[in-house]
Each structure stands twice: as structure tokens, then as C-alpha cells.
Structure 1
């Protein structure tokens, strides 16, 4: 019996555009990869789930009006859940939705690679889900180390996430390898 999968698109929401670290130059590549992943999952009958992050921090508050998907993201999700912590599975309603559909493998994509995407992958693995982490369909931003002042590029951050997730918490994928896995199952 083939595994039942769901694509979990995390925090691709208008809130991020208001952040000082937002880098519009990285958006086109991320957008193209994520849209290709969504389209491929749709072709293979994989449900697409949007996760939104809401907390008490400026553009992430409900009152801001920005806790909604980015304008370019298809709004035809099979389900949308709001989370209040870094992972998409705790108290969002996602777990019961997955269980009701017999979904055992999660495909992870979205914003930010090392934060909510990585945390969701770790928690999902600990909860017994198989995880496919599609790094090129995640986006992050440069970060400055608080103690040393060293600036880490998005590529360095993604490489670190792959290092710590791969073979432990998730299978690492490109969009094309993830979609090929859907075809072969």
C-alpha cells in the first residue's frame, strides 16, 4: 500500500514582507520552486496544507491583517491551519486532520528554513511521520551571530539545516527528486 502524503507549506505569509530582514531578491527562485512543488503535488493527488503563524509580534498579529498567504500563492489549499509556536503540529489542528486521512509522510516547504520548517520536520519525525524536506522550496534570510557578529548567508543556513536533518529526521529532496518519488510510489 503506498504511503499517504501531504505537502505542508509553512508560513508563506504577508507578515514576512514587513520584516527588516526580508530580501526580495531571493523571492523569485523560492517562488518558482515552491509553485512547481505545489503543482506537482496537485498532479499526484497529494493534498496541500497551508500553515500560518500568528503571535503577538507586530505583523504576525491577527489584527495586522498580514497573517494571510502571500498574494502569489494559490489559495486552493485542502486545509489551512494557524500555529502559535515554531512547529506546525502543536495545537494547530494539523495532527488530527492528518490522522483522519491516514497521512504518514509529510513534505515540508516554506518559510523559514532553519526555524519553522526545520522545527516542524524534527517534531514530525519524533511523532512518527516520515518527512521529506524540500530545501530548495524553503526560504530564509541572512542572520548575524549574536556573540561573534559573523553573518551567515541563506545558503550557509540551508546547508546547516540539511546537515542536521538529513538521515536523522528527514529525507532531503530537490523539487524534482521529491516529485520523482511521488511518481515511483
Structure 2
């Protein structure tokens, strides 16, 4: 289904950080070799959508979610430095936020736990949430499910009524990726994770 921007939309980019370039910590291999190209293209396209020729607001948002691990051995812990000298918690260069783009830090899988994300989406009146990032089977799937459970893009039809106007949550599967684990190759883990979300939200 093609994306449309008829309603206030947020692009939610999850955990695009240097720590995920660690060669062995997350698994022996990663799915989606085109991930970097695809996520960069998605971000560029969305940024271009935000550029309004008339100068009037577009009512769309770009939100970067970043993970700060509480586990000292994690490449996403604040003390970790990559072999090339970058901080593991810093953004991947292809997804460096612009000053106008919202940044939210989390410490667990869900982007909603212990953060202002739910309040921010409701405050901005977001009706369509486009989700991409790392990793498909952990923070991405947890965030997608919780967004649906919380109804962050839904609105009541009438005040106090039970009828709800459902918003839209879109997982961009070719702009997500994960790693091999438990004897399963990375692409299988990725595809099963995507398939398990189909029809849930």
C-alpha cells in the first residue's frame, strides 16, 4: 500500500547507532544488506516531504529514538568506543538528526517506556506512524506493538464515545534489519519477525 501524507505523519527511526556495527556482539551476520541505503533513502524522502514551497507547516515529524544501555558490556552503553574511535551510542552518520528533528532516548526495548514519545505523538496529533530501524525482532517490533496497544494514532469519533477512528502504523520492512541468532540465519529471523506483525496493528 503506497504511503500518503493526507494526515499528520511521524517517521520514527529506531536505534540507528554506531554500536550496531560491532562485528560479533549482536550475531554472526545481519539481514538486509541494503539496510543503510534504504533507511537513508527513506529519511531523505521524508525530509523532502517536509520542505513546503509555500513555507507553511506540513504537520509531519521526524523522530529519532536512541538506546542507552545500562549493561556495561553492550556496544550501546555510553562507555563503549568503536574500533574507529566513535561512541557506540552516537548516531550512524547516515541518520544524523537535524537540529529541527526530535530526539528521544530510551533504556529498554520499547520506545514508549520511560520516555515522552506517547505524549509527543498525541500532542502533535499524529495519525500515521511510519516505523523503521534496528532491530526488527527487538526494539522495532516492541515499539510497533506498543504503539498499537496504546492507540497513539487513534482518535475517538465523539468525546466519551467508544467508537474510534483508527490511525495507521506502517512498518517499512526493507528499512529494518536484525541479526542471526539461536541457530537461525539473520534473514529468517527478520522475515519471521515482520510476518508476526502482519495484521496485528
TM-score range, shorter chain: 0.7 to 0.9
C-alpha distance in 1 between matches for 2:145 and 2:139: 10
The aligned residue for residue 54 of structure 2 is none
What corresponds to 2:198 in structure 1?
166
Where in structure 2 are there 5+ consecutive unaligned residues? Answer: 51-59, 81-86, 154-167
Which one has more relative contact order, counting CA pairs under 8 Å at least 6 apart? 2
The answer to whether residue 33 in structure 2 is matched with residue 17 in structure 1 is no
Match for residue 88 of structure 1?
Answer: 111
Match of residue 133 from structure 2: 110
On the 8 A contact 2:29/2:180 being kept in 1, the answer is no
Structure 1 position 99 matched with structure 2 position 115: no
C-alpha distance in 2 between matches for 1:12 and 1:158 = 17
CA 1:7–1:135: 2 relative to 1, 3 Å: same
* Native 8 Å contact 2:32 2:176 kept in 1: no
Q: Unpaired segments of 5 or more residues in structure 1? A: 145-150, 170-185
Secondary structure in 1 aligned to 2:34?
A: helix
Query: Larger helix proportion, structure 1 or 2?
Result: 1
Aligned length: 163
Structure index of larger Rg: 2
Length-normalised TM-score, structure 2: 0.73
TM-score by length of 1: 0.79
Q: 1:139 is matched with which residue?
A: 177
